[in-house]
């Protein structure tokens, strides 16, 4: 009996870990069928889209000029991810653009802010404000 319980617990744990990053994304499915009006950048904001899949962003480096207004949209093409921009205290969720002024010069790391599996720590990029 203990062997069966041990096996069941291991299978449940493996399923939980596997779905952390590779799971479906209900928000992404809805957005693909009917884009929200809020996806359009505000005013003259520079629109930036970052695509995330298991353990990587399609852009590891984004360069903007100090004073630029930017609108960042995250698209999850595989798994569930969010982006946190350290130094700007911004968290970007899938299909919910965040618009702000890049008013601090420097290099700011952005990371996946949702634990998504074994390669989570590899999801790193840089926002460079010149």
Highest-confidence range of 5-19, 67-81, 113-127, by mean pLDDT? Answer: 67-81
DSSP 3-state of 56:
strand
Q: What are 82's strand-pairing partners?
A: 93
Residue 74 clears pLDDT 60, i.e. is over it: yes
Report pTM.
0.66
- Counting every residue written for the chain, the total comes to 130
pLDDT number for residue 1:
59
Mean pLDDT of the chain: 78
């Amino acid at each position: 009996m203990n062997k069966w319980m041990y096996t069941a617990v291991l299978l449940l744990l493996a399923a939980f870990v596997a779905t952390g990053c590779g799971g479906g994304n209900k928000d992404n499915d809805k957005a693909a069928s009917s884009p929200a009006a809020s996806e359009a950048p505000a005013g003259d904001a520079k629109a930036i889209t970052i695509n995330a899949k298991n353990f990587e962003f399609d852009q590891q480096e984004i360069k903007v000029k100090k004073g630029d207004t930017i609108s960042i949209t995250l698209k999850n093409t595989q798994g569930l991810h969010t982006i946190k921009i350290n130094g700007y205290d911004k968290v970007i969720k899938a299909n919910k653009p965040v618009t702000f002024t890049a008013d601090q010069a420097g290099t700011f790391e952005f990371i996946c802010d949702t634990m998504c599996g074994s390669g989570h720590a590899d999801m790193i990029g840089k926002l460079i404000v010149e």
